[in-house]
Structure 1
Amino acid sequence: MAVVCRMAAILVLIALLDFDLTVGCDVDDVAVYKVSLQMLWSEERFPKDYPMNRPKAQWSQVFGQSHSTNYSLYHIGSVAKPTVRAFSQFGKIDDLVKEGDDDQQVYDQFSAPAIGKGTGDTENMVFVDGGHSLVSLMSRMIPSPDWFIGVDGMNLCVDSSWVDQITLDLEPLDAGIASGLTFTAPRWETVPPAPVTRHKPRLPDHPAAGFYYPELRELPAIAKVQLTKVREYSTKELNDLARKELMSVLKAKNEHKGLPRKTIANSDEDDDDNDFNEDTEEHNVMTTRNYVDKLKDLEEDPVGTPRPNAPENFVEVVTKPSTTTTTEAEFEGELKNMDDVVLAVAHGRKFGLHKHLPRHFRSRLHHAVNKIQPNDCLVSEWSAWSPCSVTCGFGDKLRYRTVVRPKKDGGRDCPTLTDRKHCGNVNSCAHIDYFEW
């Protein structure tokens, strides 16, 4: 009997230990990751029917999300939702964004620039927290009926801590909505839609299939994705940062703008430098403004101490807006590197934003960290799209931008100056006989 009791106690202990190991990252912890994609769709790797023109091999913009375990962008083996089907066929992203905005299980959304050829690199950053530690993303293959690459719910919280870095090999996927075998096949709709599947050397098992390489056991990676932790902040660190920054900002506001605005003084002389001195506050000056009012003032009129060109700033500047946006006005002078971003996150929590950072605030952060620095390369706005290169069938449209200010020491490199997108359709031709043998 004693042996049985000891065994039961051991089993209970093991269960408790297992429970401890499965506890996730703290729900209030925030981490920032850089998402880098390397596209490897080259003729050397995939010589069969490699698209050379009209249109040539290329990639759509990348769409990604951080989310909870109760949400999925797509699942291999499951039928894709309509928004994913539309993206995989036509690159439509607006409905995906709206769908994520309306779902409380989605924490952050991001996109990365399209790549106008089969090989190249693109990147952006994503915010995660303890309750939304999974990242999913996808990018459409062009040309293709409905093929894409993607990441399906990669969990960045392992053993209760944030992963430092992880690299994944990506394979071509079929969204299951179009039945074409080749890259340039017409989009014959699959009814009903099939589940999302992987392309394999013999799947689809037909010599015309775009990835039919029967001599191979596995296809080489068509892309790689790397997620690298940029910064990680616990609730305590966020609060400490907020408290420290709050005091310095309030003091600066007081020195420059005369906080408190309405005071009852017990002496004839005011000493602005002593507003945060306990004795002065208690005996000399009584404010009619409470702590919450000061926080509201701070939110409405931020004062920051930016550190431009810090080495930890991984954000690529794309272009400078032609006009100053509301977001820029709200953050003028602030959020020029990752430290300032995190301080803003901390302030956001301090203002009573509760469980998770609101989407509108995350959008401000994404925008603010992309602000141009004095040494960065500055480019013009995009030109208008050129006419389609063909009047019959599929072609390309081009647009360009020019370098307004070259990069200086320590600044960021110039982004791409040429952009390309697919145009035209088979119905624009006067006559095509698909079955002319």
Structure 2
Amino acid sequence: MKHPLPLLRLLPLFLGLAACTRNTDTGEILPAPVPGPALYRVTFEATWSAGTHANFPGGAHFSAIIGASHRADGLLFRPGQAASLGIKDMAERGNNTALRAEIRSLQSSGAAFRLLEGSYFYSPGTVSDTIRLDAAHPRLSVVTMIAPSPDWFVALEDENLLDATGQWVAQRRVPARAYDAGTDSGPTFTAPDQPTLPAGVVAPLLLPTGPTPDGPPLGTWLLERLK
């Protein structure tokens, strides 16, 4: 039996060639054309409920979603690093004023392309908005506060919507990752304010909220290309 490993090693080469075109006059292999801008509908499908998670609080909802299309250096937050003032205010109070200003600054520097803002909504439920991306800013990040909570939020984190051939994906579903902003030490959804001093770092949220230590995802991000 022939070993399949050599074929597997050639797979990236095949994918790369598939993304290229050939000049019919000279036979020269040309790189794939750079894709034009794309418009995506971003839907957060929240499934957080008393049936999916223990200790489900009354009035459970998510704050107004906010995010941006950006380059690799245009992240809104980085796990393992301290939260910005914008992330802190969003995660603790659902206030997007500072985070909106931070995104505007990323836009001014060229690191971000477009801003996305939606409304708050109760869970379970859904919210949708649209955003444009381009080849220089093919990544998407969106955040929203888990409310009520001390400083917890869910995110679509640095999702690259160009596929392996450099073309826009038609549709993608991504589990909503939950994070602790590291700025409030409250242990429960409705705990009073307990500022973390000094502040910690953004980290995955780990709470006994379901059948596993961190529980099932609080929802799903559905990304659909419109044009």
Alignment TM-score > 0.5, same fold: yes
Matched residues in 2 for 1:65 and 1:198: separation?
A: 21
Q: Call closer, same or farther: CA 1:106–1:214 in 2, change over 3 Å.
A: closer
1:181 and 2:187 aligned? yes
State the partner residue of 1:133.
138
Report the AA paired with residue 101 of structure 2.
K
Instruction: Give the alignment partner of residue 73 of structure 2, picking from 67, 70, 74.
Output: 70
Q: Call closer, same or farther: CA 1:97–1:213 in 2, change over 3 Å.
A: closer
Matched residues in 1 for 2:45 and 2:218: separation?
A: 9
Q: Indicate the RMSD between aligned Cα atoms, in angstroms.
A: 2.2
**How much does 1:153 deviate?**
0.6
Give the secondary structure class of the aligned counterpart of 1:97: helix
Q: Which has the higher helix share?
A: 1
Q: Call closer, same or farther: CA 1:34–1:25 in 2, change over 3 Å.
A: farther
Instruction: Give the alignment partner of residue 167 of structure 2, picking from 161, 166, 184.
Output: 161
Report the AA paired with residue 198 of structure 2.
P
Matched residues in 1 for 2:43 and 2:118: separation?
A: 9
State the partner residue of 2:208.
212
State the partner residue of 2:7.
none
Task: Compute the TM-score of the two structures, normalised by the length of structure 1.
Answer: 0.43
* Identical-residue share of aligned pairs (%): 24
Tell me the number of residue pairs that the alignment of Structure 1 and Structure 2 aligns: 198
Give the secondary structure class of the aligned counterpart of 1:45: coil
Report the AA paired with residue 92 of structure 1.
N
Instruction: Give the alignment partner of residue 100 of structure 1, picking from 95, 100, 103.
Output: 103
Report 1 or 2 for greater relative contact order, CA contacts < 8 Å, sequence distance ≥ 6. Answer: 2
Matched residues in 2 for 1:84 and 1:37: separation?
A: 19
Residues 45 and 127, structure 2, Cα contact 8 Å, conserved in 1: yes
1:170 and 2:176 aligned? yes
Task: Compute the TM-score of the two structures, normalised by the length of structure 2.
Answer: 0.80
Matched residues in 2 for 1:108 and 1:140: separation?
A: 21
- For residues 367-406 of structure 1, the aligned pairs below 5 Å read none
Q: Call closer, same or farther: CA 1:40–1:187 in 2, change over 3 Å.
A: same
Structure 1 window deviating more from structure 2 (213-222 vs 191-200): it is: 213-222
1:45 and 2:45 aligned? no
Residues 25 and 161, structure 1, Cα contact 8 Å, conserved in 2: no
**How much does 1:38 deviate?**
0.7
Matched residues in 2 for 1:166 and 1:25: separation?
A: 23
Matched residues in 2 for 1:177 and 1:219: separation?
A: 22
Residues 70 and 112, structure 2, Cα contact 8 Å, conserved in 1: yes
Q: List gaps (5 residues or longer) in structure 2.
A: 1-12, 21-30
Q: Call closer, same or farther: CA 1:216–1:98 in 2, change over 3 Å.
A: closer
Residues 182 and 203, structure 2, Cα contact 8 Å, conserved in 1: yes
State the partner residue of 1:152.
157
Residues 156 and 177, structure 2, Cα contact 8 Å, conserved in 1: no
Residues 186 and 194, structure 2, Cα contact 8 Å, conserved in 1: yes
Matched residues in 1 for 2:183 and 2:151: separation?
A: 7
Q: Call closer, same or farther: CA 1:196–1:165 in 2, change over 3 Å.
A: same
Matched residues in 2 for 1:88 and 1:153: separation?
A: 18
Q: List gaps (5 residues or longer) in structure 1.
A: 1-13, 201-210, 232-437
State the partner residue of 1:29.
36
**How much does 1:196 deviate?**
1.2
Q: Call closer, same or farther: CA 1:34–1:96 in 2, change over 3 Å.
A: same
Task: Give deviations 1:86-122, integer Å, cap 9, x for gaps.
Answer: 111111212222222222211000111110x221110
Report the AA paired with residue 174 of structure 2.
L
**How much does 1:31 deviate?**
0.3
State the partner residue of 2:148.
143
Q: Call closer, same or farther: CA 1:217–1:91 in 2, change over 3 Å.
A: closer
Instruction: Give the alignment partner of residue 91 of structure 2, picking from 88, 93, 96.
Output: 88
Give the secondary structure class of the aligned counterpart of 2:95: coil
Matched residues in 2 for 1:150 and 1:179: separation?
A: 20
Give runs of ≥4 in structure 1 deviating > 3 Å: none
